[in-house]
Amino acid sequence: MATLILLTLQGWTGDSVNVFVTTSQATTPSQSVGGFFSAVMNGGLLLIWHGMEGFLILFSAIGVLVVSLRYRRRSVKIGAAIGLVSVIVAGLGGCLFVLSGFSAPGNTMQMGGASIGAYALYFITLYYTK
C-alpha cells in the first residue's frame, strides 16, 4: 500500500513539475552525477521533492520484491519484480530528462508510462496477496 500511495503522490508532483516548474533549456547539464544533481537542485523545491520521492519509491519497490519472495504464489513475485523494473524505467526516464536539459519530451512520456505500469502492477500484486 505504501508504494501505491507514493506512486500517487509522485504522479501529482510530476504533473506539477511538468506544468508549473520553469526550467532553463538554454544549457544542458554536464553528463555526470554532479551535473544531474546540480540541475535538480537549481530546479526548485518541487523538483527536488519529486526526485526524493523517486528514490523513496525505488527503495519501497525493492522492499516489496523482498517481501514478495516469502509468498508461494508466483504471481506475487512476478508482479513485484516487473513493478520494480517499471520503477527503474521511470527513474531512468527522469534522469535522462534532467540530463537533456529538460528538453526531451519522450523521457517525460517514459516516466509517466512506466509509473502507470508500476501502479497497475502493484495493484495486481496486492490483489494476489489475498
| Residues found in the chain | 130
For 10-19, how does the pLDDT look when each residue is reduced to its tens digit (9 = 90+)?
999 988 888 7
At 22 the pLDDT is: 61
Q: How far apart are CA 83 and CA 26, in angstroms?
A: 35
DSSP secondary structure letters along 41-108: HHT-HHHHHHHHHHHHHHHHHHHHHHHHTT-S-HHHHHHHHHHHHHHHHHHHHHHHHHHTTS--HHHH
Task: List Cα–Cα distances, 54 to 32, 69, 71, 94, 121, in angstroms.
Answer: 18, 23, 26, 9, 17
Confidence of residue 85 (pLDDT cuts 50, 70, 90): very high
Q: What is the pLDDT of residues 25-41, one digit of tens each?
A: 556 777 888 888 888 88
Q: What is the pTM of this model?
A: 0.89
Distance CA 35, CA 67 (A): 35
